[in-house]
Amino acid sequence: MFLGIDLGTSGLRLLLVDEGGQPLGAAEAHYAVAHPHDGWSEQAPADWIAALDEAMAKLGQGHDLSGVRGIGVSGHMHGATLVDAAGVVIRPCILWNDTRSHAEAAALDGVAGVRALSGNIVFPGFTAPKLMWLRSHEPANFARVHKVLLPAAYLNFHLTGDYVADCSDSAGTSWLDSGARDWSPTLLQAGGMRADQMPRLVEGSAPAGVLRADLARRWGMGRGVVVAGGAGDNAAAACGTGVLNAGAGFVSLGTSGVVLAAREGYAPLPQSAVHTFCHAVPGRWYQMGVMLAATDSLNWLARITGQTPAALTAMLGEALIAPGKIRFLPYISGERTPHNDAAIRGAFTGLGADSDLADLTRAVVEGVAFGLRDCAEALITAGARLDHMLAIGGGTGSAYWLKLIATVLNRPLHLPAAGEFGAALGAARLAICAATGADPDTVMTPPAVARTIAPDQTHVAAFDAAFARYRAAYPSMREIQ
């Protein structure tokens, strides 16, 4: 058996699979995020360990874990977990959605060569600017930093006793040369860090170490359980959905929206605000565009109107209709791709006396679909292919929204059959590869497709024109805000 651990922002999930990757059992435990100041987002790594212990106890109640041969960890990216020379956590982890280091991010992004080496814009959520902030605002804590560990790497440390991280997760730090898949002395120097403060790097599908004997005994596992390098959450999700080769990708319609494409070569385009990261398997990369408020936009409308998101989308029916007169710009939390604009905010335009709640709902789902197309267009400009796109995430429960997105992208979307295909499965698959030496291409296969949603060709031209108007609105809205 093999165990995948998905360390999420709000909870930890375990998935136990057999040697064929078929699920055998799962367990979860949850924890909170602290926001001690405006724009701050922190978590205590001790809460992750407590959640791991709780979930392992639940899993162990129904399963004999003595057959576990490998463990893989997926974690939310960019978080700065700082430990001293004794391995003791110095302060709460500064999370991916913490924006306190926006000034430091802008300064580092302006240093010549940083984008070229890292392959990315330096976003405030990335790890390097967090340490620059720490040096200025918490110098005593900064002086104690022995290692900087991403959340998944901290779990690797807990599991093995070794400081080790994988390349996919480390690509989101602004310290990694993403093309060479190694720490960059130039980037480390630009961020005021040293190479000895970084963990050892391995590929996500390679062994990172062996499970500590005391944990193996506590969990009823045998000796020599291999711990894989693991992955950042999006790379792990790509492993779970079989998105390894050029042409494969997915659209994730969650709180945020992601369009992700696998790449077999390294071809960054940072000026488009596309993320270019190492994949969790050797010699491959992936690129993604991110919009910050996808289902969150619909959740916002539901909250202020006293409705549920499902009730709102039910007003639209299932038959796609032409674009409405109302335009919604889905920038309620700022925007990442393609604008890299934390200050922009959302807007409705074209409201009339005859506008009703169904019209507003249609404008919101259309605006989100256009935001996803912005991401897709940026990926295509970077040279990515979007030949076979899965649709995943909570928003895929709306048949209207799926048909709309397929039409706006003018690409069929493949809806996976019910089952496991997320980051926890990706982590378990990395464990299989690390423990057995199996070829990732044979392990990380795509899920069965329940149905394919084709674009409505009768409306493609109209939505193309509406998308052009949507794109033209951003600079004008930015100017008046």
Query: Looking at the chain, how many residues does it have?
Result: 481
| C-beta of residue 150 within 8 angstroms of C-beta of residue 169 | yes
Residue whose entry in the numeric block shows the structure tokens 């990694």:
176
Element (H, E) at 275: strand 275-278
| C-beta of residue 237 within 8 angstroms of C-beta of residue 422 | yes
Q: Of 170, 147, 26, nearest to 83 (Cα)?
A: 147
What residues are labeled active site?
A: 233
Residue whose entry in the numeric block shows the structure tokens 């894989």:
228
- Phi, psi at residue 84, to the nearest 5°? -90, -175
Q: Could you give the 3-state DSSP secondary structure of residue 422?
A: coil
Q: Which residues pair with 72 in a beta bridge?
A: 4
Element (H, E) at 453: strand 449-453
Neighbours of 317 (CB within 10 A): 11
User: Which DSSP string do the residues of 199-251 spell out, in sequence order?
Assistant: PEEE-TTSEEEE--HHHHHHHT--TT-EEE--EEHHHHHHHHTT--STEEEEE
As a dihedral over the C-alpha atoms of residue 298, residue 303, residue 305, residue 310, rounded to 10 degrees, the angle is 50
